[in-house]
Amino acid sequence: MSDITEILIRAERLHQLEKAEIVALLANRVDDAELFGVADRIRQRYVGDEVHLRGLIEFSNICKQNCLYCGLRRDNQDIKRYRLEPEAVIELAAKAKSYGYKTVVLQSGEDVYYTVERLQTVIYGIKDLGLALTLSLGEKTREEYRAYREAGADRYLLRIETTDRQVYDQLHPGMSLANRLRCLRDLRDLGYEVGTGIMVGLPGQSQESLAEDILFFKAIDADMIGLGPFIPNPATPLRAAAGGTFELALKVMAITRLLLPDSNIPATTAMETLNKQGRTIALQSGANVVMPNVTEGEYRQLYMLYPGKICINDTPAHCRQCIGGKIAAINRTIAQHAGFRSGKNLGQL
């Protein structure tokens, strides 16, 4: 029996790994199929064969932050900016419901136009539709998070991107890892289902730091973990960076499933940008969520976090039909409920 097999047997039984064991799994290039198979078994055992669809509404590409990797960064002058008014966001949510979505995800840059009052209007309107609501709006104050929660928001997704402080500081001018952690603590304290995640393949990122990231997800008992490869954007300072790979991102996702057996883990769009079957492969390697885009028109093209983003010329109806076919093709079913995580234990930040 190989060392890798022994590590995987232990992980499947205990959902615990040491940092050195995670590094060994990341470094291994022989038994990846075994890793993905174990992750898929754990997924099936703990969260079943249902795939949860979350309808993604990208309602503003305006951002006050200047993160080096992001196409929405403040200093990018090569992008046409937009924002949708509250009524338009609620209308898109209503259309998402008509396509069968049980959850919508509101995502934007950190756009100061959206005051607490405007966002409360949107939240109230969406909750009146009977939908679960995830917000992904970046760093806010505790009071702002409280206001969104009191208006009815259920989940909040705030990716840590990396727990390596040196890498974080290099990539996020004017920001701090300490404040990011504060945000995640506040979200947990306020009763949200808390989502986080990373980009795999950032400049300066090591296998050891990726292992630390995975252990961080475990330490906070994250309810959702979004993982994808870093794809360099030509309109950013990291345009010449090597970028991440589909294979490594998939391994990080699978190892994350070993340690967090009942968390919600998306098969991300960025994975399919690098591999035409990326989301299907991810669903067979530990993922149980897909987030199709329900934004309409030119806005799908203008929310350009990275180049080559899939489905930007499709309609929301086509995306829903397409992903439904892919899910059926691997003998999985689309969940008919909002897919809240059950039995979670609050972790420590």
Task: Report the candidate in 88, 93, 84 with the shortest Cα–Cα distance to residue 56.
Answer: 93
Binding annotation for [4Fe-4S] cluster: 63, 67, 70
Binding annotation for (3R)-3-methyl-D-ornithine: 136
Residue in this structure with the two tokens 């669903």, named with its chain if needed: 283
- Burial (CB < 10 A; 0-12, 13-18, 19+), residue 185, is middle
Binding annotation for S-adenosyl-L-methionine: 161, 180
Give the span between the Cα atoms of 257 and 235, in whole angstroms.
Answer: 33
- Burial (CB < 10 A; 0-12, 13-18, 19+), residue 231, is buried
Binding annotation: 63, 67, 70, 136, 161, 180
Q: What is the Cα Rg of the chain in Å? A: 19
Contact assessment for residue 252 and residue 210, using Cβ atoms and an 8 Å cutoff: yes
